[in-house]
Amino acid sequence: MISKKKALEMLDVIDDMFPDAECELRHENPFELTIAVLLSAQCTDKLVNKVTASLFEKYKTPEDYLAVELEELQDDIRSIGLYRNKSKNIRKLCASLLEKFDGKVPETHAELESLAGVGRKTANVVMSVAFGEPSLAVDTHVERVSKRLGICRYKDNVREVERKLTSIIPREQWTKSHHQLIFFGRYHCLAKKPKCSECPLLQDCREGQKRYRASLRESS
């Protein structure tokens, strides 16, 4: 693994590349954001935004999601992967919001994670984006990039990745770094075809070096 100093230098480069990174899930309030994050599992933000454009017109409160049959909600989000499970989770979430929090999205990690269908990643995103509490949610991009750069080990689980990143990055920068690592993974260090040949981190990146050497072998 690389040193804390080197990791911070790399994060500075990513900061320069994506200074304006932010949440790309469209939402008007904490409730819409929570629904959008639930829908975004294994799905692009772009597709989620396409679906929520009409979904949020039709469903504005937890009661609205529970007022229709499950099949109707499934039809409304059918273009999103795992729509059957996600429909059930949305309804469970809405029921527990009404039961425990008077229909409002709670503002603490513990309360958020007590809601049906809400895990640590969703709670972190809602806390940081909706309520301005520094959080570093580890999604697939954050995990992949942190491991490729050597900030974390490939065998680290999501919780360990979060622990390492939050121990290196100053707390007040957690939310910004979270968005920047997502942008870096989404638009530059892509899962299948990372842009190593044009990457400013290539020299220090173990994964990039490995790919670079492999490409040299292939071309010789």
CB of 216 to ligand SF4, least distance (A): 14
Number of residues that bind ligand SF4 (CB under 6 A): 13
Core vs surface per residue 9-46: b (16+ CB within 10 A) or e: ebbeebbebbeebebbbebeebbbbbbbbbbbbebebe
Among 91, 148, 164, 178, binds ligand SF4 (CB under 6 A): 148
Distances from the Cα of 21 to the Cαs of 4, 49, 96, 108, 187, in angstroms? 23, 17, 32, 24, 11
Counting contacts by CB under 6 A, is residue 168 touching ligand SF4? no
Binding mask 187-206 for ligand SF4 (x = CB under 6 A): -xx----xxx--x-xx--x-
Q: Is 121 a catalytic residue?
A: yes
Backbone angles phi, psi at 5, to 5 degrees: -60, -45
Q: Is 147 a catalytic residue?
A: no
Residue of 121, 147, 164, 176 marked active site = 121
189 is in an annotated binding site: yes
Counting contacts by CB under 6 A, is residue 181 touching ligand SF4? no
Q: Which residues are catalytic?
A: 121, 139
Interaction site with ligand SF4 (CB under 6 A): 148-149, 188-189, 194-196, 199, 201-202, 205, 207-208
Annotated binding-site members for [4Fe-4S] cluster: 189, 196, 199, 205
